[in-house]
Amino acid sequence: MARKTWRLSGLLLAGFIGMAGCSAPSSSSSTEAIVPISIYSFDRQNYGSQDDRVLKAIEEATGTRISLQTGGWEDTQLDILMATGGYPDVLTIVDNEKTGRFNKWIKEGRIIPFSDELIAGLPYLSAQLNNPKYDELRVNGKLYGLPLQDELPPGSVGQHVLILRQDWLDKLGLPVPQTLEQFRNTLLAFRDRDPDGNGLADTYGIIGNGLPSLVRNLMGAWGIPIDARSTGFLQVGDAYEYWVVQPEVKEALRYVKELYDGRLIQPFTLSAATNVQVRPRFIEGRVGAMFDNANFEELLKKQEQLRRNFKDAELMEAAALAGPDGKRGYSVGSGFWGYTVLTDKAQNPAAVARLLNYLLSDEGNRLTLYGLPDVHYREDKGQISLLLDERKNDIGFGTLHPEAAHELNWGLVSWTRMTETDYLRFRESSTPGFTDVVQENLERINRYRIEPASYNLATSRWVSFKSTSDELTESYFGKMIMGELDIDGGFEKFVSKWMESGGAEAMSEMSGALVRSADTGSPE
């Protein structure tokens, strides 16, 4: 799930916003030894021996020498690094949903905890790690990963929301759909009423990363909160159960089957595994809806790409759809996705912690957002001008989009803080109306929310069973939607298979832990 910030298009940053904190960081004492730190992070530039003055300023402020290793956004790279022993001091963007792998690394001693001693005297790192909402992440009372804070404010929706072609709605004279029935009619119009105006019957209603993903993303219409940023468990009576075995799922399967039978779903959906694969098909301009990350930069990136061929293209993030009984809502997110972890290769964990603390600080955030004063930007009578020619000389800004934030602004200690004042004002100068885009879409997607039973708790038996659960869900849900299995009989077979394959025991163990956590605050 790539989080790389959309590259900006303006030259002048208006409205000086208190840049005193952006001055060049003070260098560490010359008597202190410089500590080498190696970091692996996805989707970065290949720094090699190339100079980058922002990186150098970070090193001077923290007394470190950073070696940044990178590769394509392929999560298995982390497994390869661990298996071969070639992993560095720090790994970033470690998928927190793969709890089995994470716990294995802890058991093997490959990653080390952020102990109280390690973070003592580091206020920004301590504040992040000691947030009570992350208590569920502790293993034997210890936190082994720095949660990467989400782009959206705390309490916002989780990962996926409904994205619609607003320009298609406007052209066809359609309102934004509020219910499942209205949504089906909207998709029919997208298919049949030539919204792209080319006179061909070549448009579809919706595209997704697999048919089962559509079921998952629509479950809020039956009042069930499910998202990649929560466990998928809900309270049923005095116990807790997993969402896939709930009777409401049958109704969601019937709904998605109707969309499939009506040829409203773009066929690539059947083979797509991730949204990274889906987005290029969506921006071809022949589909009117998809579920995607609630990320405003990603929204505008898709819109910009669509406008290369469809100049009036406009996208919006819609409120959660209401189901047959009026229930609606996106699942509230945990507020983070992914970890940065320290490995047992780190010779000086205290220096790594000092580096992370600096990047979390206001000074570190502003440095990676704006760069160095009188080098990457200049203030003159309350106006901030970005010095593009100078920014092009630093690989972290790059030659293609030097007006963007430095790439070290995201994915190391948090994701880009795109709703905070500094970022909004920075973006507003280069993309007028950006603040309105954020505020309008944020209000819509946060209008209806459902609180999940748990965000991060996972027992050992559930961790072991989760991959089996996912495989059974993908297989049976796909067969029922495509008509290979009758939904009533197929769902009964699915639940039976799920339970006998270890689901009953794993769900019971999770339920007990969730009950204890609700009663005492601890799953133990």
Q: Above 90 in pLDDT, residue 290? A: yes
CATH of domain 160-331+452-516: 3.40.190.10
Q: Is there a shared CATH topology between the 35-150+335-418 domain and the 160-331+452-516 domain? A: yes
pLDDT level of residue 50 (50, 70, 90 thresholds): confident
- CB half-sphere exposure, 218, CA atoms < 13 A: 27
Read off the pTM.
0.84
Query: Residue 271 in contact with residue 278, Cβ under 8 Å?
Result: no
Instruction: Please report the DSSP string for 101-152 in residue order.
Output: HHHHHHHHT-EE---HHHHTT-HHHHHHHT-GGGGGG-BTTB--SEEEE-SS
Which candidate, 240, 243, 192, places its Cα nearest to that of 215? 243
Query: pLDDT value at position 521?
Result: 62
The two most distant CA atoms of the chain are separated, in Å, by 74
Surface-to-core class of residue 502, CB atoms within 10 Å of its CB (0-12 exposed, 13-18 middle, 19+ buried): middle
Q: With pLDDT > 70 as the criterion, what percentage of the chain qualifies? A: 92
- Domain range annotation of the chain: 35-150+335-418, 160-331+452-516
pLDDT at 177 exceeding the cut of 60: yes
Q: Is the pLDDT of residue 29 over 50?
A: no
Tell me which amino acid residue 443 is: E
Contacts of 454 (CB under 8 A, 6+ apart): 136, 230, 231, 233, 240, 514, 517
Whether 262 contacts 204, CB under 8 Å: no
- Which is it for strands 146-149 and 336-343: parallel, antiparallel or unpaired? antiparallel
**Host H or E run for residue 35:** strand 35-40
pLDDT at position 523, please? 64
* Average pLDDT for the chain: 89
How would you list the strands of the sheet with 383-386, edge to edge?
12-14, 383-386, 377-380
Whether residue 301 has pLDDT greater than 50: yes
List, for residues 259-280, the tens digit of each pLDDT value: 999 999 999 999 998 888 999 9
Q: What is the CATH number of domain 35-150+335-418?
A: 3.40.190.10
pLDDT at 337: 86
Tens of pLDDT, residues 219-260: 999 999 988 778 899 999 999 999 999 999 999 999 999 999
User: What pLDDT, on a 0 to 100 scale, did the predictor assign at position 522?
Assistant: 59
Listed residue (146, 91, 154) closest to 124, CA to CA: 146
Phi/psi at 279 (nearest 5 deg)? -55, -45
Q: What is the pLDDT of residue 20?
A: 39
For the segment 194-220, what is each residue's pLDDT rounded down to a tens digit? 999 999 999 999 999 999 999 999 999
Closest of 64, 91, 19 to residue 362, by C-alpha: 19
